[in-house]
Structure 1
Amino acid sequence: MLEDLKSRLRITWSEEDKDLENIINRSESYLSELTGATFDFEKEVWPKELLLERCRYVYNNAADEFEKNFAHELKRLILLVALGKVGTKVETVPGDV
């Protein structure tokens, strides 16, 4: 995933790799929390595309604009999870917050 993000951002150096990995991890958590599902970002094209776009926004200090600019795509992702077409729903245990 790191190489895909670096390609998207046109980054050819490795000094920021650790920071980029942190951005990827936080963005994966963001999409999982938003949808209530886990994804195989290497195989599922639609979630991967949204992940890379969110990472791009975070990298460019515009994370606050991501939800507004990708509202339609995020709603579609939530619907696809609900229909069982992407991701794996995370079962919650009663009492979990």
Structure 2
Amino acid sequence: MEEQKNHPLLGEFKGRMRIFHDADDSNLNYILDSSQSALTRLTGITDLENVEFKELIIERSRYVYHDQVEFFWENFQADILGLSIAHYVPEDDSEQKGDTDSGNKEERTTT
């Protein structure tokens, strides 16, 4: 039987939730993985070293654990939006449109 790889935040989550046994580790790993995926999709962040991102993963996991995830979005909407905006990286429009004439503009003369 293959040994399960634990989510990097499992120990921290169990400490936060005061869970001192290993019986639910499989379920807790699933909850943490799904929370991380959902928040990455919304924020674009993947770095678990980001303290705010890590806290949101733990908080969403707490709501899921207590079957209250529908309240997480409402209660943390501002945090999620703020984190998304803070880490937003705009795409370069000229690359998307294939604009290669940026330096060849005609000069207009007015009479």
Counterpart check, 1:23 vs 2:31? yes
Amino acid paired to 2:23: E
Q: What displacement does 1:80 show?
A: 1.3
Counterpart check, 1:10 vs 2:18? yes
Look up the match of 1:39: 46
Pick 1 or 2: higher relative contact order, CA cutoff 8 A, min separation 6: 1
Look up the match of 1:49: 55
The structure richer in helix per residue is 1
Q: For 1:70, what is the secondary structure of its paired residue?
A: helix
Look up the match of 1:64: 70
TM-score by length of 1: 0.79
The structure richer in strand per residue is 1
Q: What displacement does 1:83 show?
A: 5.3
Number of aligned pairs? Answer: 82
Look up the match of 1:82: 88
Q: What displacement does 1:38 show?
A: 3.5
Amino acid paired to 1:56: R
TM-score by length of 2: 0.70
Amino acid paired to 1:39: T
Q: For 1:40, what is the secondary structure of its paired residue?
A: coil
Identity %: 34
Alpha-carbon separation, structure 2, partners of 1:53 and 1:6: 12
Structure 2 gap segments, 5+ residues each: 1-8, 91-111
